[in-house]
Amino acid sequence: MMYSQQIIERFKNPKNAGGLRGANGIGKVGNAGCGDIMKMYLLIDDNGVIKDARFKTFGCCAAIASTDVACDLIKGKSVEDALKVTNKQVYEILGEMPAHKIHCSVLAEESIHAAIEDYYKKKEKESRKSAKAMIDDD
Amino acid sequence: MRKVYLDNAATTYVSSEVLAEMLPCFNTIYGNANSLHGFGREAANIVDRARDRIAHAINANKSNEIYFTSGGSEADNWAIKGIAHAYANKGKHIITSAIEHHAVLDACKQLEKEGFEVTYLPVNSYGLINLADLIHSIKKTTTLISIMTVNNEVGTIQNIKAIAKTAHEYGVIFHTDAVQAIGAVKIDVQDMEIDAMSMSAHKIYGPKGCGALYLKNGIRIDNLIAGGSQERAKRGGTTDVPAVAGFGKAVEIAVRDLSINQQKLKAIRTYFIDKVTERIPYVQVNGHPHQKINGTVNMSFEMIEGESIMMLLDLDGVAVSTASACTSQALEPSHVLRAMGIPDEIAQGSIRFSFGKNTTKSDIDYVVDVLEKAVNKLRSISPITKAGRK
């Protein structure tokens, strides 16, 4: 098995590694048993645009590189557009990916979904809270 | 960039003494060892000498009990399938352990498909099988017990003599995969009551693609490779004279230098473990604390994954190996660490460091520096936290 230069480069110098202060969408997928855990942190503004995306990953080179690319792919996009990002886009950027590593790109896609889902949940909670506050005010 | 090779359990370089033994066999003594003419006899003499050297090194009763093969995997496959088939009329039950090399495990799986029954003995947290478990699993139909002498991933040494004695008390043939043991522990096939034993050249500074099966005279075995009168008509194929010559020399040297090499390796091992545990927290050493070979250290680095550690070390010129799920393609961590009861998330972060006879303390200093750097980097981007780890 050989890794592409793109994977090695991303693995060596990930651009988006680390946590994100003030993240309002955080999603975690995978488990240690199969060897990968990916945590995606999103900072989404009031217009629903992803201002920043960062990740923390437990896993192999391909897993770390995939989440790093996923962050790049969704930054600046609206939440709706970010949901359209697919694992295919991730592995195309990374060049040749060993067949048994494709699941890393799938997990990266899933981590985006998980983080956005968390964002929606938080938003719904907030709107319910503010609705409740309005009722309480009456 | 500095380069340090700590993957000697995977393979070693060919030592100059061994190479010197091999070189004339490529273009000077190039006859077919099976030919009757002078060129052939000259080559046959080289093969005979190699066979004598190996027989002597493991204290075989006769040199003709050594059969050359293409390596350890062939020897394992041959021993398991050949003995199982030869004694199939007596019974179709085989006992092995859960931590064997895949050459043994997969050969057993093939036999299961043919209708043989296989018992895979569990191991304790150190990687040792239990003699009581072994005794309880022996049946009237058991014909073969195969337990490795030294485990390739963690270096644990089994109590081979006691296992072999037990096998014989029940009239069962005993085979051992000793690929990682030659040169690391003293092997005396007569004293240890070993009936069949797999060996390999390239783990002991010999060439790749060459190994041998020791098979005690009187033990029957079916051929794995048909096609010629080579190796007493038990293993067809023109003898690889240069490789066999190198193998013979490599075994001779490995046994000759065993104690001095082990002393050096023990010092290196202790130095390495002390340095790592002093500088890197949340590390565990896997395997038996004492009943192990000195050349191999298996360590788990919590909260991070083995393949990424290995790759970061590689980028700094350090070669190690990992049996993490990500490397295995099976998406499952090492079957050895699993059998030892090590939780998956810890097993995933395991690295095997295997030292060689030329590994220096300065090499270790460099490795520990880059290892500390790699572990810190990966932990800084790991979603698993110290508090959250199990």
Residue B67 lies in a domain: yes
Is residue B4 included in any domain, yes or no? no
pLDDT class of B316 with cuts at 50, 70, 90:
very high
**pLDDT, chain A, mean:** 92
Q: Same structural domain for residues B37 and B177? A: yes
- Is the Cβ–Cβ distance between B349 and B322 less than 8 Å? no
Chain B residues touching A63 at Cβ < 8 A:
305, 308, 326
Q: Given an 8 Å threshold on Cβ–Cβ distance, is B329 in contact with A55? A: no
A109: enclosing H helix or E strand: helix A102-137
Task: Please say if the pLDDT value at position B146 is more than 90.
Answer: yes
With CA atoms as reference, the chain B residue closest to A30 would be: B383
The verdict on a CB contact (< 8 Å) between A61 and B344 is no
Q: Is B306 part of any domain?
A: yes
- Is B8 part of any domain? no
Please tell me whether residues B244 and B276 are part of one structural domain: no
Query: What tens digit of pLDDT does each residue of B18-40 get?
Result: 999 999 999 999 999 999 999 99
**Residue B190 and residue B67 share a domain:** yes
Question: Would the CB atoms of A33 and B304 count as touching at under 8 Å?
Answer: no
Please state which CATH class domain A5-137 belongs to.
alpha beta
Smallest Cβ distance to B344: which of A32, A56, A103?
A32
B132 and B72 housed in the same domain? yes
Catalytic residues of B: 326
Mutate to test the interface with A, among B304, B305, B310, B389 (most CBs of A within 10 A): B305
CATH number at residue B201: 3.40.640.10
Q: Is residue B10 part of a domain?
A: no
Is B230 a residue whose pLDDT tops 80?
A: yes
In a domain? residue B87: yes
Q: Confirm whether B390 is domain-assigned.
A: no
- Residue numbers in B near A57 (CB within 8 A): 381-383
What lies within 8 Å, CB to CB, of A97 at 6+ separation is A4, A7, A62, A91, A104, A105
What are B35-58's pLDDT values in tens digits? 999 999 999 999 999 999 999 999
CB contact under 8 A, A35 and B384: no
Whole-angstrom distance, CA of residue B6 vs CA of residue B4: 6
Same domain, residue pair B208 and B67: yes
Q: How many domains does chain B have?
A: 2
Per-residue pLDDT for B390 more than 60?
Answer: no
Identify the CA nearest to A74 among candidates A39, A105, A113, A22: A113
Rounded Cα gap, residues A92 and A105, in angstroms: 10
* Residue matched to tokens 């790759």: B311
pLDDT one-digit tens code per residue, B156-180: 999 999 999 999 999 999 999 999 9
For β-strands B196-200 and B283-286, DSSP reports them as unpaired
CA B55 – CA B65 distance, rounded (Å): 8
Do B343 and B206 reside in the same domain of the chain?
Answer: no
- Is A18–B344 a contact, with Cβ atoms under 8 angstroms apart? no
Instruction: Say if B9 falls within a structural domain.
Output: no
Give bridge partners of residue B354 from the DSSP assignment: B7, B296
Give the CATH number, domain containing residue B348. 3.90.1150.10
Q: B231-269: b or e for each residue (b if 16 or more CB lie within 10 Å)? A: beebbebebbbbbbbbbbbbbbbbbeebeebbebbeebb
pLDDT at A98: 83
Instruction: State pLDDT tens for residues B341-387.
Output: 999 889 999 999 999 999 999 999 999 999 999 999 999 999 998 77
Tell me: do B193 and B286 sit in the same domain.
no
**Cross-chain CB nearest to B304 (options A12, A18, A58):** A58
Considering the domain architecture, whether residues B194 and B275 belong to the same structural domain is answered as: no
Q: Is the pTM value of this prediction over 0.80?
A: yes
Tell me the residue range of the domain where B340 lies: 258-380
Task: Kindly list the residues from chain B whose CB atom is less than 8 angstroms away from the CB atom of residue A110.
Answer: none
User: Known catalytic residues of A?
Assistant: 34, 104
Angstrom distance (rounded) from CA B15 to CA A38:
45
d(CA B343, CA B331): 15
* Token pair of B22 as six digits: 């091999």
Residues of A in contact with B344 (CB under 8 A): 32-33
Chain A residues whose CB is inside 8 A of the B345 CB are 32-33
Same domain, B284 and B200: no
